[in-house]
Structure 1
Amino acid sequence: MIRPASWSGLWKKRRLWIGLGFGLLIAGASFRLLAQNPAHEEDSPAIAQTGEATPVTLVAAELTTIQEGFKATGTVIATEMLPVTAQATGLQIQTILVDEGQSVLGGQVLARLNGSLLQAQLTQAQASVAQAEARVAELRAGSRPEELNRAEEGVKIATAGVAQAQSDLELIQKRVQRNQTLEAEGAIARDRLDEILNQARIQEANLQQAKARLAEAQSQLTQLRQGPRTEVITQAEAQLQQARGQVQLIVAQLQQTQVIAPASGTIATRNARIGAMSNASEPLFTIIQGGQLELELMIPETQLREVQPGQVVQITAENNPDLSLNGQVRTINPVVNDQSRQATVNVMLPANSSLKPGMFLQGEIITRNTQGITIPTAALLPATGQQAAVFVLQGESRVRRQTVTVGELLGGDRVEIVEGLNPGDRIVLDGAPYLKDGEQVAVQS
């Protein structure tokens, strides 16, 4: 039971005494009416003569845990609000798979972006990888027999070409010698000699080209016999790795077309719209991490010293009388607002489908638990000041009027008794206004 603030308790006690006073006035008036009624005049002597016991009902004084605290108001907020943005930008939102209020798991797909262009690029990159793999495999396997045969045949052809060019050159050189003699004797013109000299120079060039082709053919044959050079294989392997890296890059970009929940929780807002373009600066969703909500209470600085992390907070709502929850103080903001002279206290709330961010709630922070004796307020009879009276059962059938000191009024129409009763004392609940000290009673079940 919660002990309210002292001013509230005093006001409630004042109302209690007023109510009890009215009750006694009514009871007194009833006795006066009975005294004027002849029928009752006949009955009263009979009761006195026979000593008939007054019927009463009893209740036991209970040792109760009394909770002391104070109330504050605040707003429901998310403990941790996670923005979810698209990693891939400039892509059209194709599918939305969740909506506000829905629970999601970490790693769950929330939406998909259009990745058709990336898929085409992936196909092309995979083809490049296959081509590079074939090239590396070919180099590592070495020369095939048919390649060696072609290279050897090429050397033979190039050798024959050199021999032919050499023969042609020797023939033209002999013609040059004869024509030089004829030109010296005046048998031919100088132009004729120059023509033959030009043919000789052309034939010398043909011989050099034939020798170059032979050298190239011999080099290819040697390379085929020795296998590919290490640097050639290394270069081909590097090209293969580059092609594979391109595939991995596109695969990663395709994965980014799926908008993934970073953690489990509840979808608080959904800004994503089908057909809209993704933008890394604008969240598509926000998630309440773990679905955990808390109440942000504003506490006056004069009461902050009474608040400690872990204290129980009883939560209620003015517009929802069925809402009754127990929260727990999580954090206390050390900074007091210099205008309102209040500080923020965050209270963890239990899972409840009726709680929404932005709701306005009341919280009663329980600052202390004490043990005290409590009885129903209906068992009290007025006395003076902080005192009242009750009738305590003595033995089995007689009552004793007992003065008690009243503490605070508690919830559930009970009152704290500071002094005058012990736990387990049986006191009169119904029938007390008609009793006298030491009177005999008949206990009703």
Structure 2
Amino acid sequence: MQFIQRRTWVRLTGCGAIGALSLIASAQQPETKPAAAAKPAMTVTVAQPQNQQLSQRLSANGTVAAWQEASVGAEIGGLRLTEVRVNVGDQVKAGQVLAVFANESVLAEINQAKAALNEAKAVASEAQANADRARALQPSGVISAQQYNKDVTAEATAKARVESAQANLAATELRLHQTQVRAPDSGVISSRMASVGSVVGLGSELFRLIRANRLEWRADLVSSELFRIQPGQKVRITVANGAEVTGQVRMTAPTVDAQNRTGLVYVDLPGSAQGLLKPGMFVRGEFEFGSSKALLVPQQSLVVRDGFQQLYVVGSDQRVKLLKVTVGRRQGDMIEITSGLPLDANVVVRGAGFLTAGDLVKVVP
């Protein structure tokens, strides 16, 4: 009986040891980790490059200015302005009266000049009669040579005084004409300095006039590009509101700025530009040089990585690869790729900004 109990204890002890060893072995085995989930394929759209004819253009910035701006000044001084008939923006015709000076003093001068002329004519008439009589008597010796010379000289002097009085009257009448300030040419008033009641000096500027309503665009171009510009060349100018105006190159400046090495190109603007462009506006334009073939992709597909313009293309394994490309001209929402892109590439368009090289993608229409 004692033997049986001992044998049972040994069996229990052995079972406990085996259990303990199992626990220790279990603790020493590394824990099995679940397998990482595969990154899902991103849905993208693709497009193939398109070969199209694209205009060759050169962009430039410049200022809109008047083709010629005439200064309208006072041709008479010391008189008071009684009327100003135009304002800034008014369309005027050549010879139109813009302002009027008080003319009372000038009218008085005219009356005085007329009286002086009449007096000179009367004196001249008498002198001519005396000279005619002296000429008639001189052959007979009735009149002395001294008296003859005196009468003839008096006649010449009187005639000269008549001419002087006539010139003085003409000058005074011109002053009367100058009391009305007239437009030297047709155009639009760009600025006004005249004000009613002011007394202005001779030569004082009263108005500025854009002659013939003509505007021009003065484009700044670097000297290396000036040789490409030719008179008559078309230029497309973009206004701030998105409207476009087509101009034409008139001339290129004969000199280049020594400081910044740029030259001016003068572009004539059409009359229709009056409502869109104003002198002093700074606008952008493009000089056109015909057209050439270009490889185009949607601008949306272009991404910037590490400071470079790049495109994602989808390979046969449905994974994307990043290509560094060189861009050129733009047309609408398309951009020219000048190098780095195969003609048969499948370029990622929608979703390109969320990809990294090697990503798996799913192409959808």
Q: In the aligned structure 2, how far is the partner of 1:354 from the partner of 1:276?
A: 35
In the alignment, structure 1 residue 292 sits paired with structure 2 residue 214? yes
For residue 311 of structure 1, what is the aligned residue in structure 2? 233
In the alignment, structure 1 residue 68 sits paired with structure 2 residue 44? no
TM-score, length of structure 1 as denominator length? 0.49
In the alignment, structure 1 residue 259 sits paired with structure 2 residue 281? no
- Identical pairs, percent: 31
8 Å contact kept, 1:85–1:279 = no
Residue type of the alignment partner of 1:282: S
The alpha-carbon distance between structure 1 residues 282 and 136, as it changes in their structure 2 partners (threshold 3 A), is closer
8 Å contact kept, 1:372–1:417 = no
Cα deviation per residue 1:419-438 (whole Å; 9 max; x = unaligned)?
A: 99xxxxxxxxxxxx87xxxx
The residue correspondences of 1:162-181 to structure 2 (distance < 5 A) are none
In the alignment, structure 1 residue 79 sits paired with structure 2 residue 67? yes
Residue type of the alignment partner of 2:65: I
Q: In the aligned structure 1, how far is the partner of 2:207 from the partner of 2:118?
A: 40
For residue 147 of structure 1, what is the aligned residue in structure 2? none
Deviation at 1:387, TM superposition (A): 11
8 Å contact kept, 1:92–1:278 = yes
In the alignment, structure 1 residue 330 sits paired with structure 2 residue 318? no
Deviation at 1:361, TM superposition (A): 0.8
The alpha-carbon distance between structure 1 residues 341 and 138, as it changes in their structure 2 partners (threshold 3 A), is closer
Q: Which runs of 5+ in 1 are unaligned?
A: 1-20, 26-60, 143-218, 378-384, 389-406, 421-432, 435-445
8 Å contact kept, 1:372–1:416 = no
2:113 pairs with one of 111, 122, 125: 125
Deviation at 1:130, TM superposition (A): 2.5
Q: In the aligned structure 1, how far is the partner of 2:108 from the partner of 2:233?
A: 60
Cα deviation per residue 1:46-98 (whole Å; 9 max; x = unaligned)?
A: xxxxxxxxxxxxxxx99x86321121222111122221211112222221122
For residue 275 of structure 1, what is the aligned residue in structure 2? 197
In the alignment, structure 1 residue 97 sits paired with structure 2 residue 97? no
In the alignment, structure 1 residue 112 sits paired with structure 2 residue 107? no
Residue type of the alignment partner of 1:66: L
For residue 191 of structure 1, what is the aligned residue in structure 2? none
Q: In the aligned structure 1, how far is the partner of 2:335 from the partner of 2:160?
A: 88
Q: 3-state SS of the aligned residue for 1:238? A: helix
Residue type of the alignment partner of 2:269: L
Instruction: Report which of the two structures shows the higher radius of gyration computed on alpha carbons.
Output: 1
Residue type of the alignment partner of 2:156: T
Q: In the aligned structure 1, how far is the partner of 2:91 from the partner of 2:233?
A: 29
CA RMSD of aligned residues (A): 4.3
In the alignment, structure 1 residue 369 sits paired with structure 2 residue 357? no
Deviation at 1:338, TM superposition (A): 4.2
Cα deviation per residue 1:225-274 (whole Å; 9 max; x = unaligned)?
A: x9x94444434333322322221121122222222222222211111111
Deviation at 1:359, TM superposition (A): 0.9
8 Å contact kept, 2:297–2:337 = no
8 Å contact kept, 2:194–2:207 = yes
**Comparing both structures, which one devotes a greater share of its residues to helix?**
1
8 Å contact kept, 1:317–1:360 = no
1:354 pairs with one of 276, 295, 303: 276
For residue 11 of structure 1, what is the aligned residue in structure 2? none
Q: 3-state SS of the aligned residue for 2:95? A: coil
8 Å contact kept, 2:81–2:102 = yes
Q: 3-state SS of the aligned residue for 1:121? A: helix
The alpha-carbon distance between structure 1 residues 249 and 281, as it changes in their structure 2 partners (threshold 3 A), is closer
For residue 36 of structure 2, what is the aligned residue in structure 1? none
How many residues are treated as equivalent by the alignment? 263
Q: In the aligned structure 1, how far is the partner of 2:169 from the partner of 2:112?
A: 9
8 Å contact kept, 1:106–1:263 = yes
Q: 3-state SS of the aligned residue for 1:92? A: strand
8 Å contact kept, 2:128–2:155 = yes
Structure with the greater relative contact order (CA < 8 A, sep ≥ 6): 1 or 2? 1
Deviation at 1:360, TM superposition (A): 1.5
For residue 40 of structure 2, what is the aligned residue in structure 1? none
Residue type of the alignment partner of 2:214: Q
Q: 3-state SS of the aligned residue for 1:263? A: coil
Q: In the aligned structure 1, how far is the partner of 2:296 from the partner of 2:312?
A: 15
